[in-house]
């Protein structure tokens, strides 16, 4: 058993100072039992906690550390940038360079605005969609998360798309009055909303690969249908690629599936893991953003030199297709190996993998939507999580979160993970006997 005395002490102290002892709820390990480990440092594919334990990390700051922790080229560039000043509150050439690099990967983005987070990016993109169309309503999907802005904290209906209700205390009903909820991978549910009120819907926002209910890929024709429907009805299609951007493919989900949205939102991966986000799209739409146009949006730290520098260094490396090919190949080896180990032990485990994202669902069938995801055996996942953690494998502490691999993970880490999984799944099998 690993010693975690220091982590336990710090968690007790943190709970007296910070709500729940954490600054993001899932970090509290509430869904899997136990208490969170406190991290001291990260290096490559590994995390090291305050008690000296080492873990192979498949969370990677919830996705953006695609090069791994403390990549030498990124940290060296950051040190030089910090010595020149951490924030200017004024334009720098770095913003132009990163903007051009992002457009190189995603040609559908013709103009871009940097912000400070994914939540800010999606909130701004939806405001822009309303401004551009002159309409008020938006459509989101059951199980898709787009940040914690009031209008997006909406729970879905029971299968059929319905008008949403607040999903959190403190969100007034009026804030989500114009937010409609459809079923992910259910094009018919979106069509019904447009049939009822097409002239009021400004935009459809979607995670093109749902990454906040595990990893759920779009079924054939779903994204293409959304593109056709929104174009026909005069609404905008927004791809929330905060998670999928540079993760499912170098050009994001829009490149992988060859579907170009009107607007795209991006997250911390474009800043090498530093706090940053962006939204961008067609010139005619982005031209409405202040000061070029009347839709106001601003941020003091937007485009700060540290995030821009880390992003430039990260995207430079992602130009190398060999890095991508190796990451995907290693992840396929991992997911296929996990599946084989589970089958050998008669454990229903479904592996989803798109690009460098993956999820292990404890379910009889691979989920295609939120209703399917909710049938997963969360207690069995919690047991699996705790066993893997005890063997030095750091997974997301929830059945409903995605996992990630990085360029720093190699066959050594993959094989060590499979060895740990062999023991974890054997323990699960024995406990069920």
What does the pLDDT look like over 215-236, one tens digit per residue? Answer: 999 999 999 999 999 999 999 9
Catalytic residue among 49, 71, 240, 330: 240
Query: Does residue 203 belong to any structural domain of this protein?
Result: yes
Q: What domain range is 158 assigned to?
A: 73-318
Name the strand (E) or helix (H) holding 415: helix 411-432
Dump the DSSP string for 56-98. Answer: EESSTTTTT-TT-BT-HHHHHHHHHHHHT-S--SS--HHHHHH
Dump the DSSP string for 374-403. Answer: TTS-HHHHHHHHHHHHHTTEE--SSTTS-E
Tokens 């839709």, residue? 295
d(CA 294, CA 159): 38
Task: Quote the pLDDT of residue 1.
Answer: 60
Catalytic residue among 257, 268, 330, 369: 268
Strand partners, 155: 165
Percent of the chain predicted with pLDDT > 70: 96
d(CA 113, CA 119): 14
- Binned at pLDDT 50, 70 and 90, residue 297 comes out as very high
Residue 268 annotated among the catalytic residues of the structure = yes
Task: Quote the pLDDT of residue 323.
Answer: 95
Query: Does residue 13 belong to any structural domain of this protein?
Result: no
Q: Let me know the angle formed at the C-alpha of 220 by 396 and 148, rounded to the nearest 5 degrees.
A: 40
- Binned at pLDDT 50, 70 and 90, residue 169 comes out as confident
Query: Does residue 409 belong to any structural domain of this protein?
Result: no
d(CA 114, CA 312): 13
pLDDT for 79-133, tens place per residue?
Answer: 999 999 999 999 999 999 999 999 999 999 999 999 999 999 999 999 999 999 9
pLDDT for 363-399, tens place per residue?
Answer: 999 999 999 999 999 999 999 999 999 999 999 999 9
Q: At what angle do helices 72-83 and 305-318 cross, to 10 degrees?
A: 150
pLDDT for 7-52, tens place per residue?
Answer: 999 999 999 999 999 998 888 888 888 899 999 999 999 999 999 9
403 is written with which tokens?
């996992």
Query: Does residue 412 belong to any structural domain of this protein?
Result: no
Number of domains in the chain: 1
Task: Quote the pLDDT of residue 433.
Answer: 61
Name the strand (E) or helix (H) holding 130: helix 118-133
Average pLDDT, the chain: 93
DSSP-assigned letter for residue 345: T
Residues in the chain: 433
Query: Does residue 311 belong to any structural domain of this protein?
Result: yes
User: With the CA atoms of 296, 297, 301 and 307 taken in that order, what torsion angle do they form, in degrees rounded to the nearest 10?
Assistant: -130
- Binned at pLDDT 50, 70 and 90, residue 165 comes out as very low
Task: Quote the pLDDT of residue 156.
Answer: 36
Query: Does residue 50 belong to any structural domain of this protein?
Result: no
Query: Does residue 369 belong to any structural domain of this protein?
Result: no
How many other CB atoms are there within 10 angstroms of residue 191's CB atom?
16
N-to-C CA span, the chain: 23
CATH code assigned at 208: 3.40.640.10
Helix, strand, or coil (residue 329): helix
d(CA 405, CA 277): 21
pLDDT for 307-321, tens place per residue?
Answer: 999 999 999 999 998
Residue 188 has pLDDT above 50, yes or no: yes
pLDDT for 7-19, tens place per residue?
Answer: 999 999 999 999 9
Residue 177 has pLDDT above 50, yes or no: yes
Long-range contacts made by residues 377-382, C-beta under 8 angstroms, separation at least 24? 377/348, 378/31, 380/347, 380/428, 381/32, 382/31, 382/32, 382/33
d(CA 218, CA 144): 12
> Is 261:237 a contact under the CB 8 Å cutoff?
yes
Lowest-confidence range among 158-167, 300-309, 372-381?
158-167
Residue 145 annotated among the catalytic residues of the structure = yes
Task: Quote the pLDDT of residue 276.
Answer: 96
- Binned at pLDDT 50, 70 and 90, residue 192 comes out as very high
d(CA 57, CA 114): 28
Taking the complete model, does pTM exceed 0.75, yes or no?
Answer: yes
Catalytic residue among 145, 184, 279, 384: 145
d(CA 66, CA 244): 11
Query: Does residue 84 belong to any structural domain of this protein?
Result: yes
72 vs 153, residue with greater confidence: 72
Task: Quote the pLDDT of residue 426.
Answer: 94
> Is 210:143 a contact under the CB 8 Å cutoff?
yes
Q: Which residues of 34-57 are buried (b: 16+ CB within 10 A; e: fewer)?
A: bbbbbbeebebbbbbbbbebebbb
d(CA 351, CA 353): 7
Residue 158 has pLDDT above 70, yes or no: no
- Binned at pLDDT 50, 70 and 90, residue 174 comes out as confident
Residue 282 annotated among the catalytic residues of the structure = no
Helix, strand, or coil (residue 333): helix
Comparing CA positions, the residue from 426, 361, 369 lying closest to residue 187 is: 369
């Amino acid at each position: 058993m690993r010693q975690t005395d220091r982590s336990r002490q710090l968690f007790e102290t943190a709970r007296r100072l910070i709500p729940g002892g954490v600054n993001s709820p899932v970090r509290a390990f509430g869904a899997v039992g136990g208490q969170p480990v406190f991290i001291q440092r990260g290096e490559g594919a590994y995390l090291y906690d305050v008690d000296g334990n080492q873990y192979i990390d498949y969370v990677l700051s919830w996705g953006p550390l695609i090069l791994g922790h403390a990549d030498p080229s990124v940290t060296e560039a950051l040190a030089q940038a910090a010595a020149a000043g951490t924030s200017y509150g004024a334009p720098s050439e770095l913003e132009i360079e990163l903007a051009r690099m992002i457009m190189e990967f995603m040609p559908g983005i013709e103009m871009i605005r940097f912000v400070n987070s994914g939540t800010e990016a999606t909130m701004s993109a939806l405001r822009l969609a309303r401004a551009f169309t002159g309409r008020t309503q938006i459509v989101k999907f059951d199980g898709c998360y787009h940040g914690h802005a009031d209008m997006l904290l909406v729970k879905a209906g029971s299968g059929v798309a319905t008008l949403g209700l607040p999903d959190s205390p403190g969100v007034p009903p009026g804030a989500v009055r114009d937010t409609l909820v459809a079923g992910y991978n259910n094009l018919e549910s979106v069509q019904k909303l447009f049939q009822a009120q097409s002239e009021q819907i400004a935009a459809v926002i979607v995670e093109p690969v749902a990454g906040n209910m595990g990893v759920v890929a779009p079924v054939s024709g779903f994204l293409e249908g959304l593109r056709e429907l929104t174009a026909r009805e005069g609404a905008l299609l927004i791809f929330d690629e905060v998670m999928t951007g540079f993760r499912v493919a170098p050009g994001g989900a829009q490149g992988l599936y060859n579907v170009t949205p009107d607007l795209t939102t991006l997250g911390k991966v474009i800043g090498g893991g530093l706090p940053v986000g962006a939204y961008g799209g067609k010139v005619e739409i982005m031209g409405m953003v202040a000061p070029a146009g009347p839709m106001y949006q601003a941020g003091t730290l937007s485009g700060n030199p540290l995030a821009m520098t880390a992003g430039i260094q990260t995207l430079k490396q992602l130009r190398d297709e060999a890095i991508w090919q190796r990451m995907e190949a290693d992840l396929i080896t991992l997911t296929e190996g996990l599946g084989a180990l589970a089958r050998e032990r008669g454990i229903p485990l479904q592996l989803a993998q798109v690009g460098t994202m993956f999820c292990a669902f404890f379910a009889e069938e691979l989920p295609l939507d939120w209703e399917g995801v909710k049938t997963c055996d969360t207690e069995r996942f919690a047991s699996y999580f705790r066993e893997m953690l005890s063997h030095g494998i750091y997974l997301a502490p929830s059945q409903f979160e995605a996992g990630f691999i990085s360029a720093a993970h190699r066959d050594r880490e993959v094989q060590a993970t499979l060895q740990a999984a062999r023991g974890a799944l054997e323990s699960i099998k024995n406990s069920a006997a």
